Every structure is written in C-alpha cells, then in structure tokens.
Amino acid sequence: MENTAAVANYFLSLARRDNIEVSHMKLQKLLYYAHGWYLTLKEEPLLDDPIQAVRYGVWIMSVYSFFINYGNNSISSLLMPDLFYELYPEYPKIKSPFAKELVEKVWDIYKPFSAIVLASMSTMSGSPWDTTRKFCDKNKRMIEMSDEIIMHHFKQLYKTIDVKGENYETL
C-alpha cells in the first residue's frame, strides 16, 4: 500500500513532465483509476486513504482537503500538508516499483481525457460509485466505497480488454 500523497505527487510530476494541466477533479479521478487497476492486478489496495462516493463523484478526502482552493484551476504544487511535515520531511514518494509503473501506465492512458470525461466515466451506471450510492442513504454527503466493489468492477473491465501478458499494455 502506498501513501496517497506520494501517488498524487507522482501524477502531478508526470503532468509537469508532459506539460499537461491537471485540475483537482482530474487528479481525484486519476487516483481512483490507479487504485482500481492496482486492486485488480495485485488484489490489494494501492492507496492508504479510502475512496469516497460523494454526491457528484469519487473523492479522496485528504486530497480534496489539500487542493480544494484550486477549484477548477490547474494544480501548481505538490501535496505536502503542513500537518504531516514531521512524518514526511520530504515529499512522499512511491516505494513499490510495480506501483510506480502502474501509475505511469494509468497516466499514459488517461491523461488525454478531461476531468469531466473522467468524472463521467467514474460515475456511469453500474460503476462502483453508482452501486455504492444506489444502496446507501442518499442523504449522506459521502460514503466510503468498498475495495471489493471497486476491484470487482475493474476485474470486469479487465476481462473486456486485450491484455498482453503481465505488461497490461492496453489497460
């Protein structure tokens, strides 16, 4: 399991490298997709924070809290909350080579999509978000999504694509 801030920062570093703007919403969805694919391939969570089903999409509250002031604008800094400075005197980094490779693959596949498209994809009928919201109290602001529901959904997607060996080249 990786530190959520480390994964978020790696996505932001890849965006800088490729000169692509990433909004708060797009970062949230990239984290969700990385988590889903990691669950599918490793059968364990990528992120150490839970994914929440909120009224309008999937969110990770620690990331939301840090980047909320960006609104729809491009994020220009890495995630380094002062609150965690003593725990992480440097920006947190991804430890697992597999996790890092997977994040790069998710970035390569999903970077062309806008935040709106990624949000629409993550809240489609039958998605983990839809399943979670459908069977829970609609008045709740946020509901933690189960990794089992997320993994089941991504395993179904995995079966529908032509995956070449262990390189998962077409995720």
Q: In the chain, what are the domain boundaries?
A: 4-167
Mean pLDDT over residues 4-17, rounded? 94
Please give the Cα distance from 58 to 28 (Å, whole number). 7
Residues in the chain: 171
pLDDT, mean over the chain: 88
Chain position carrying tokens 């992120």: 47
* pLDDT over 90 percentage in the chain: 68
Phi/psi zone of residue 19: left (φ > 0), alpha (ψ -120 to 50 degrees), beta?
A: left
Q: What is the pLDDT of residues 32-55, one digit of tens each?
A: 999 999 999 999 999 999 999 998
Which residue, 48, 38, 16, 163, is CA-closest to 100? 38
Q: How far apart are CA 59 and CA 52, in angstroms?
A: 5
The two tokens of residue 24 are 């708060």
**Portion of the chain with pLDDT greater than 70, in percent:** 87
In whole angstroms, what is the distance from residue 42 CA to residue 39 CA? Answer: 5
Q: Decide: helix, strand or coil at residue 69.
A: helix
pTM exceeds 0.75, yes or no: yes
Q: Are 109 and 13 in contact (CB under 8 A)?
A: no
User: What does the pLDDT average to over 79-87?
Assistant: 56
65 with 33: CB under 8 angstroms?
A: no
User: Is the confidence at residue 117, as pLDDT, over 80?
Assistant: yes
pLDDT in tens, 90-113: 677 899 999 999 999 999 999 999
Distance CA 119, CA 151 (A): 18
Chain mean position to CA 135: 22
Q: Does residue 81 surpass a pLDDT of 80?
A: no
